[in-house]
Chains A and B, each alone.
Chain A
Amino acid sequence: MPQTPTIFALSSGAPPAGVGVIRVSGPAAYSALLALAGRVPAPRRASLARLSDASGAPLDEALVLWFPGPNTATGEDLTEFHCHGGRAVIAAVEAALAALPGLRRAEPGEFTRRAFANGRIDLAEAEGLGDLLAAETEWQRAAALVNAGGALSRQVEAWRERVLALSAEVEGVLDFSDEEDAADLPECFTWNIAALKEELSEWLARPRSERLGEGFRVVLAGPPNAGKSTLFNALVDSEAAITSPIAGTTRDVIERSVAIGGVPFTFVDTAGLRDEEAADPIEAIGIGRARGALARADVILWLGPEGEGPESAWEIAAQADRAAIHPKSSARFVVSAITRAGVPMLKQALVAAARQGLPKPGEAALNARQHARLAEVAEALAAAERLSDPLLVAEELRRARLALDRLVGRATTEDMLDALFGRFCIGK
């Protein structure tokens, strides 16, 4: 009989690290533990074991844990190996697991998918977990934890209650129009729809959760030789970009992701902007790409002549340790990439800006899918606000409910009826 494959993966951060936690989930989790550790400890008890592979060669001295399903994170049998974090050890244990029958390496997100499929978490939580696993910085982790902890689910639940209550009012008008209680929609009805719609719009305007994964995009721009690449290197703390006194050194867009103060950044170095006519064809392509990068920037650091940069770019007076090539009367920052003067202050300002522009830890953020659903809810509410026929208002509210339900789950008309009967004195 074909069985669900048992999957394994390193579920702690990339090695080398203090401890490497390898998780195994699926029907063969038990036998895998038995095969490597020679015994299976009591459920949910950490126990020290000597791991060895099929040939008996020792692999590691590790803490092992056994969680019988279905009350586990994935809803399946689960084993954890807490190994010493070295690359070689981890690789050896993984190889030993891969050699066992019915086991294979997990695909990205597969643990979460199983947890969802087994009813352990709802969609919004699943997405939060996905973000959590991809999180690299503290800031990302904290934000993802909010979703994984069900903050978005709870918020959606609160909206759903409100839409249900609104639906109940219209349904009352439709199904009990001969009753005095439910003869007409109250005046505040449209106002309540509008208020909810406003609240959703606010959410929709917030930064999306993917932004956390991408990091805050800072693009350095200016004419050739302005010192972009040198400042870029100083900001990312490495020699990622080639610098030289030759104008047109940088020909392509270079990106580096780094965390500053726990906040994820993507710095982007670009080809010096000059007349594309004057540039050779390769440089011209680079300049085209640079313009593209500018369009997607959260902040542009402008190292060129004052006032000639893109709108709302930060004026940077670069190369402050020597006679400036682009002197500025009111630069936002005066920096030298060589002496590092002014660079810490620039970094601080960027961190402050990023905190504004990225989803905040402690505040649930929407990903693209959730954003689309919520936008549909807002659209349905907007339509409901405009319409006067209660039947069509009800249909739009139903659409709003459906989209909310799809956001996290569940859909029954019964809920709406419960809300309806809880509120009115209806019937004879």
Chain B
Amino acid sequence: MANFDVIVVGGGHAGVEAACGAARMGARTALVSFDLAAIGAMSCNPAIGGLGKGHLVREVDALDGVIGRAADAGAIHYRMLNRSKGSAVWGPRVQADRVRFKAAVQQTVRSQQNLTLVQGEAAALVLEGGRVAGLALADGTILGAGRVVLCTGTFLGGILYRGEERFEGGRIGENAAKRLAAQLRGADLPMARLKTGTPPRLDGRTIDWAALEEQPSDDEGWTMSPLTARRLNPQVFCAITRTTHAGHDAIRANLHRSPLFSGAIAAAGPRYCPSIEDKIHRFGDREGHQVFLEPEGLDTHIVYPNGISTSLPVDVQETVVRTMPGCEAVRIVQPGYAVEYDHIDPRALTPDLQLRAIPGLYCAGQINGTTGYEEAAAQGLVAGLEAAAAALGKAAPVLDRANSYIAVMVDDLTLQGVTEPYRMLTARAEYRLRLRANNAATRLTGLGIAAGCIGDERRAWWERREALREMFHVKHSERIHARELADLGLPVRHDHGVKTLAEWLRFDGVTPDALAPWLGELAASDPALADELAEDAAYAPYLARQDAELRDLRASEALPLAADFPYGVVPGLSNEMVERLTKAAPGTLAAAGRVPGVTPAALSALLVHARRRISDGQQAA
């Protein structure tokens, strides 16, 4: 029997990051997936990043993950969303050529040290004394390991819906993992169902591009990963069209044929990613909804119409897309569908994404009720690093709401659970002024190096950059008279006194470029770093104000709540609060405050009781 430290099940975005992350930590790792050739497949929209999601990609990348560099390898269109707003909410997004993206992922996975790839169906967990001991494959092979990470996506009990049609499977053309799902359901884990959908794919040769407004790729040279020196592929443009009244009428007339409305699908779908029939039903009076036509790759004619996810019957889909300008004669290559699937109530997980009920079993990705590649990748990374750290007796990087979107997501999931597929939004991160997509490396790579999950290439990059940062700091603390700036034509009043360059950066119109005369050669050494430091300076007053808030937070984080804390006996908690707190089992008082519905009055009751339990415990000891 082959033995490993960590076994990862599933070759999607979560599984890839989990497997590579665990292997980078030095754990002997196996990645088991139905079809090794499908590793790195994008099941839906061939785009990576976006608002909130771009932050996750950069953070996973900062911890030396796979998704950022693979996105660059596949990127055929770069766009910085929210460019006109503050840099903390800029959302780097690329459209990736499916084939190139997948090839890059596979290349990384295959060359990763400590990682063994196993093709097959994970059929059952091997448990010993309630703990994970290994994994049984459908062909009878048994793999031994004390840690198993499940990243099976929508494959658990997945059912596909298209109009009146039904198929079993997690993705069109692939099997559902029924046996594993049955075992998990048998284990009495809290499970629920969610749904998501995908739009029809169009043949780009049948679209009248000339009739449509173009959206070109950004011409700046930024990339997803700082380790990608420059953009690799030719850049294509997208086009914008929209739905019309005629299309809406067709949808309305056929609503009863959509499984969403016929009652066939009862599970909740994402509010922020509604199907087109949902949009028409809920906001019927609208003039039309925007649809982005996004090419899926350089060597394919397939186009992804972003904005019309649907599970209507094929004939209705056809009618609807042909009412969109530029698409009058369009041909559908593959119709859209909805998928309903099992997920685990993520409140059953601890912050390292381990199931409280089955020690050694970790879950990451869509199986935890999230949606999106980036969300999956980020969780996979956490679960992989944590599982490896636990197996090797090391410590994974400590992530919290003030240092990463990754931790915001994990914290939200494990404390609040999900009522709809969870997607990252910048609004979820209360400290987002400090969590910028372009300072992810500064926030996390150092932690990664300390934990031992960063490869040589990035470590070398990081050390160079830290040396530069030190030089910038020295220059930025030089004190310069207002006169000098004004004389160079900068919008600063002569009598504004003497300030450090960092302080001057806070003034409107004083850009990092404008400081070139004082920075000398340094100015051009690393423009991205220069920008980052300028943003730090600009946000400094806000960050200082948040520091006080963070001190409060950390104080209540210092008060631990045991996993078996008897919420039922705390007077003053409503039954609902007791139930939610028991389900989420927050690790600290601060975490308890983030469980929905827990009032400050209830928190103070918890505080009193937790303190008393601690002092009782000390007296008993």
Contacts and interface: CB of A to CB of B under 8 A. Distances in A.
Interface of A: 1-2, 4, 69-70, 75-76, 116-123, 171, 173-180, 389-392, 394-395, 398-399, 402, 405-406, 408-414, 416-417, 420-421, 425-428
Contact of B599 (A117, A175, A409): A409
B594 to A, nearest CB: 7
Interface of B: 51-52, 81-82, 85-86, 88-89, 270-274, 279, 282-283, 286, 289-292, 306-309, 416, 425-428, 430, 432-433, 542, 545, 549, 571-574, 593-594, 596, 598-602, 604-605, 607-608, 612, 615-616, 619
A399 B545 contact: yes
Contact of B426 (A75, A174, A416): A174
Nearest to B572: A119
A117 B607 CA distance: 8
A45 B608 CA distance: 31
B428 to A, nearest CB: 6
Given A180-B290, A391-B88, A427-B271, A414 B571 contact: no
Contacts of A410: 598-600
A427 B272 contact: yes
Contacts of B425: 171, 175, 417
12 contacts: A2-B619, A118-B601, A119-B599, A174-B51, A174-B426, A177-B82, A178-B81, A391-B89, A391-B432, A402-B549, A421-B271, A426-B272
B571 A116 contact: no
**The 4 nearest A-B residue pairs measured at CB:** A119-B572, A391-B86, A118-B572, A70-B571
Contacts of B427: 171, 174-175, 394, 413, 416-417, 420
Given A174-B82, A425-B279, A1 B616 contact: yes
Nearest to B600: A409
A70 B52 CA distance: 44
A166 to B, nearest CB: 13
A117 B572 contact: yes
Contacts of A413: 427-428, 430
Contact of B601 (A119, A398, A402): A119
Contacts of B289: 425
A427 B197 CA distance: 13
Contacts of A417: 425, 427-428
Given A171-B426, A389-B86, A417-B425, 11 more contacts: A70-B571, A75-B571, A116-B601, A117-B572, A118-B601, A119-B573, A119-B599, A123-B600, A175-B427, A409-B599, A425-B289
A171 B425 CA distance: 9
A411 B596 CA distance: 9
Contact of A119 (B290, B433, B602): B602
Contacts of A4: 612
A409 B52 CA distance: 28
A1 B594 CA distance: 31
Contact of A177 (B85, B283, B596, B612): B85
A178 B292 CA distance: 10
B319 to A, nearest CB: 20
B545 A428 contact: no
Nearest to A389: B86
A175 B433 CA distance: 14
Nearest to B542: A395
A405 B51 CA distance: 27
Contacts of B430: 398, 413
B260 to A, nearest CB: 15
A409 B308 contact: no
Nearest to A411: B593
A427 B269 CA distance: 12
B619 A117 contact: no
Contacts of A177: 51, 81-82, 85
User: Which residue among B85, B428, B604 has the maximum number of chain A CB atoms within 10 Å of its CB?
Assistant: B85
Contacts of B593: 411
Nearest to B283: A425
Nearest to A410: B599
Contacts of B616: 1-2
A409 B598 CA distance: 9
Contacts of B619: 1-2
A116 to B, nearest CB: 6
B290 A392 contact: no
A391 B539 CA distance: 11
User: Which residue among A121, A123, A175, A390 has the maximum number of chain B CB atoms within 10 Å of its CB?
Assistant: A175
A210 to B, nearest CB: 23
Contacts of A180: 290
Contacts of B426: 171, 174-175
Given A70-B571, A391-B88, A179 B290 contact: yes
A30 to B, nearest CB: 15
Nearest to B425: A175
B596 A412 contact: yes
B85 to A, nearest CB: 5
Contacts of B612: 2, 4
Contact of A395 (B270, B271, B272, B433): B433
Contact of B272 (A402, A411, A414, A421): A421
A103 B274 CA distance: 61
Contacts of A421: 271-272
A395 B571 CA distance: 36
User: Which residue among A119, A417, A420, A421 has the maximum number of chain B CB atoms within 10 Å of its CB?
Assistant: A119
